[in-house]
């Protein structure tokens, strides 16, 4: 006789119960298999995310490095530009100073020129004294006969009076005074040649006499310079007496003293 199982609802066959248990076990295994598959899939997806994360981290590091290089370049260019600006400002300041100095010097030269013209007005009219204002200063051209007797390097009294007028205007002017001696091309002879063998020595002696006289007149010695040109650089032809007279001269060039920084 077939065995049965009792329930609250009635009696079920034992085979039916076995079948239900087997089906339930199958569903349980199926659910277990599905969960494991999803887990493995999730692990793979996690691995991919980690790989993507590492790639993103490397990209971020690369971008950070690029940003640092860019910032360094910008900072270097900014510092360089600041140095350029400072250098340009310094150059501008130097140029402004030079320009102001030139303007001041030009004004001093103009005043000096006008004062010399006024002081030597009679000599300009009667003795062929010439005064010229130049970009680099003032030039006073004195004929040799105004200062010296013929064939001599000794100053005559009228010549001393002329130089006193010049020295009075130069005493307080910060200009370099260059005194240049010039002669004609006539060869020195007689006893004079024993003292001045050539026109070089005669022109140099005359320039030196003028320098020494200006020094005594109060012009600072460190601003005085004597130069001999001899018979070189004639102002006119040596073929005539008038030309030779123009070539025998003393030229006093007054120019600003350049101070090197």
What are the backbone dihedrals phi and psi of residue 7, each rounded to the nearest 5 degrees, phi first?
Answer: -135, 175
Examine residue 259 and state whether it is found in any structural domain, yes or no. Answer: yes
Tally of structural domains, the chain: 1
Examine residue 83 and state whether it is found in any structural domain, yes or no. Answer: yes
Examine residue 108 and state whether it is found in any structural domain, yes or no. Answer: yes
Examine residue 98 and state whether it is found in any structural domain, yes or no. Answer: yes
Please choose, from the candidates 254, 257, 171, the residue with its C-alpha nearest in 3D space to the C-alpha of residue 219: 171
DSSP calls for 205-219? HHHHHHHHHHHHTT-
Please choose, from the candidates 152, 239, 249, the residue with its C-alpha nearest in 3D space to the C-alpha of residue 191: 152
The residue segments making up the domain with residue 182 are: 41-261
Asked whether 89 and 107 are in contact (CB, 8 A), the reply is no
Q: How far apart are CA 3 and CA 65, in angstroms?
A: 83
Please choose, from the candidates 229, 227, 149, the residue with its C-alpha nearest in 3D space to the C-alpha of residue 185: 229
Report the pLDDT value the prediction gives residue 14, as an integer from 0 to 100: 57
Q: Is 47 helix (H, G, I), strand (E, B) or coil?
A: helix
Q: For residue range 12-21, what is the model confidence (pLDDT) as tens digits?
A: 555 555 565 5
Q: How far is CA 206 from the centre of its chain?
A: 43
Examine residue 192 and state whether it is found in any structural domain, yes or no. Answer: yes
Which CATH number belongs to the domain containing residue 150 in this structure? 3.30.1330.60
Examine residue 2 and state whether it is found in any structural domain, yes or no. Answer: no
Report the pLDDT value the prediction gives residue 83, as an integer from 0 to 100: 83
Q: For residue range 210-245, what is the model confidence (pLDDT) as tens digits?
A: 999 999 999 999 999 999 999 999 999 999 999 999
What are the backbone dihedrals phi and psi of residue 229, each rounded to the nearest 5 degrees, phi first?
Answer: -105, -5
Q: How far is CA 128 from the centre of its chain?
A: 45
Kindly state the tokens that stand for 67.
Answer: 């940003």
Examine residue 19 and state whether it is found in any structural domain, yes or no. Answer: no
Could you tell me the maximum CA-CA distance found in the chain, to the nearest angstrom? 182
Q: Is 73 left (phi over 0), alpha (psi -120 to 50) or beta?
A: alpha
Alpha helices in the chain (DSSP H): 14-119, 121-126, 144-147, 157-170, 192-195, 199-216, 241-247
Examine residue 82 and state whether it is found in any structural domain, yes or no. Answer: yes
pTM for the full predicted model: 0.63
Q: For residue range 111-170, what is the model confidence (pLDDT) as tens digits?
A: 999 999 999 999 999 999 999 998 888 999 999 999 998 778 999 999 999 999 999 999
Asked whether 215 and 221 are in contact (CB, 8 A), the reply is yes
In the chain, what is the straight-line distance between the N-terminal and C-terminal CA atoms, in Å? 135
């Amino acid at each position: 006789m077939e065995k049965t199982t009792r329930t609250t609802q009635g009696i079920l066959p034992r085979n039916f119960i076995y079948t239900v248990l087997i089906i339930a076990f199958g569903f349980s295994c199926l659910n277990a298999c599905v969960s494991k598959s999803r887990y493995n899939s999730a692990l793979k997806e996690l691995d991919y995310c980690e790989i993507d994360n590492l790639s993103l981290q490397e990209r971020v590091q690369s971008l950070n490095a690029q940003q640092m290089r860019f910032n360094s370049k910008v900072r270097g260019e900014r510092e360089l530009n600041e140095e350029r600006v400072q250098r340009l400002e310094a150059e501008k300041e130097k140029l402004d100073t030079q320009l102001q100095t030139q303007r001041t010097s030009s004004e001093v030269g103009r005043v000096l020129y006008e004062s010399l013209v006024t002081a030597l007005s009679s000599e300009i009219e009667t003795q062929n004294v010439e005064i010229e204002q130049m970009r680099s200063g003032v030039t006073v051209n004195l004929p040799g006969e105004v200062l010296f007797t013929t064939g001599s390097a000794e100053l005559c009294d009228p010549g001393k009076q002329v130089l006193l007028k010049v020295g009075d205007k130069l005493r307080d002017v910060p200009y370099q005074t260059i005194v240049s001696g010039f002669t004609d091309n006539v060869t020195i002879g007689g006893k004079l040649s024993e003292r001045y063998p050539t026109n070089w020595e005669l022109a140099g002696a005359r320039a030196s006499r003028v320098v020494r006289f200006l020094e005594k007149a109060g012009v600072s010695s460190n601003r005085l310079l004597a130069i001999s040109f001899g018979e070189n650089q004639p102002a006119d032809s040596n073929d005539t007496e008038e030309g030779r007279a123009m070539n025998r001269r003393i030229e006093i060039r007054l120019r600003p003293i350049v101070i090197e920084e």
